[in-house]
Chain A
Amino acid sequence: MNTIYMFLETFFPFDIIQYDFMKKALLGIIMITPLLGMLGTMAVNNKMAFFSDALGHSAFTGIALGVLFGVKNDLISMIAFAVLLALIITRVKSSKAASADTVIGVFSSTSIALGLVVLSIGGRFSSYSQYLIGDILSITSTDILVLFICLIAVTIIWGLIYNKLLIISVNEDLAKSRGINSMLIENIFVVLVALVVILSIKWIGILLINSLLILPAASARNISKSSRQYMVLSVLIALVCGIAGLITSFYINTSAGATIVLYCSCVYLITYIMRNKK
């Protein structure tokens, strides 16, 4: 850890980096943002902005279920519920019984309501409100390690399924004719999104996590000319906005998650103008 800290001190010439919590926060951001930028590319391609929003909201029910069943680590109950919800939504969506928007809307509002009802029993909700906006400064070394393992694992799985996801996103019939099991690949993808969204919620907040998944990819898409450019730009935008947002939030004393998202919004605006100028 000390070596990493020294490394950070050399590369980030800000006096705030001398605080240990700031170093940890910075490491956390360096783990989270590339993940969100990477998965965001396909979430935007497949028009899943609303879907990932619903996953974020499901965190409330996840925490609530954890409280009900006495699960000590609320991360486990949150992930379990989000993964379950992601798989159910994908299933219902593919049966085409109702429009995807409606299906996701129903699940999203139900899981918020259920979570709020359970958590507000006896007026205890205020102790959970930290999840709404998140707090990256409270991240611990163990959390960083978990995020690091997640970053490695998700990147490997992502590499394995990316080409198949790309073909599916262009034409599902074609994917099937090439022997791609589109249901399996899509399920793997939504589980990855659920995992990453939930792991980041404590640090970024339920209200903003979706913006951090969608905005970098949407910005990169405005100016990219190939699949690689798209992903590289999306990851870079997420990373740069993440670091800039964190440092800025320290100096002007604001919520880190919200400041990062504001940076992302500015980048989106700039790329949008760049695209329209062409």
Chain B
Amino acid sequence: MPTNNGCGLCKVCVSHLSVVRGNETILNDISFNINCGELTAIIGINGAGKTTLLRAMLGEIKHEGNVSFEGHDGLVLSKITIGYVPQQFSFDKSSPVRVSDFLTASRTNRPVSFFGSNSSKYNVHESLKQAGSAELAGKMLGDLSGGELQRVMLAQALYPVPELLILDEPLSGVDHAGCEQFYDSIENLRKNYHMPVIMVSHDLQLVNQYADKTLLINRDLLFQGKTSHVFASRQFEQTFKSGGFKL
């Protein structure tokens, strides 16, 4: 396991993480590290526990084992800022919410219904620019395409500046051009901020193209390592051969 820490911001260590719901073991003894500036993909079949793993890392569901965050000096940080980009979701498209309203509302308690939203405040404009979507500020949330909405969700996750970025299948159902724009923004963030990124994805082609490291899980951690190694592994072939995946 490589432990060198490029920017020295932090390292995420997940050790012996298990999730049990009722009598069912959803995740069993998962351990891995994520280094700064790396994009780590989590892949696996439906029901493998990928989203559950993210939820456990976010601290939203009960789990055994430990998720810890290490600073560059080796000290354990008790809490870090995590940015979270949810799966494509459905919401009420006719609701009159502008992108800037939504982002402002997620950053301050000053009610946007009374005071409106102002893109120059609360880093709204900067975040949108970082997510490659500066032009979307005045649009209505319901008028966005799938790819645009996910870039807005990315912008949402960038304030306060996260020390770890978690993406939960951000692009299922988004067209190819939309995907590329999204990943370009992620690449920029990784390069400029050395942000560690962890992402669940079904799109193996995109994982192969962008992820440094990959975790293949099916309740257990089947294989982890460099993406090319994982894709060449026997476990990978066994998991995805029925899908007929070709690179």
Contacts and interface: CB of A to CB of B under 8 A. Distances in A.
A224 B96 contact: yes
A163 B108 contact: yes
Please tell me the size bucket of the interface on B. 20 to 34
Given A170-B91, A174-B153, A227-B101, A163 B96 contact: no
Contacts of A177: 58, 60, 82, 84, 86, 166
B102 interface: yes
Contacts of A166: 97, 101-102, 105, 112-113
Nearest to B104: A163
A227 B113 contact: yes
A225 B60 CA distance: 34
B135 interface: no
Interface in A203-240: 221, 224-231
Contacts of A170: 91, 95, 97, 102, 141
Nearest to B166: A177
Give the secondary structure class of A's interface.
Answer: helix
Contacts of B117: 226-228
Interface string A69-80: 000000000000
A177 B116 CA distance: 24
A226 B111 CA distance: 13
A225 B92 contact: no
A226 B105 contact: no
Interface string B87-115: 10101101111100110111011111111
Please tell me the size bucket of the interface on A. 20 to 34
Nearest to B83: A177
Interface stretch (A5-13, A21-29, A124-132, A154-162): A154-162
Given A166-B102, A221-B94, A226-B101, A231 B84 contact: no
Interface of B: 58, 60, 82, 84, 86-87, 89, 91-92, 94-98, 101-102, 104-106, 108-117, 140-141, 153, 156, 166
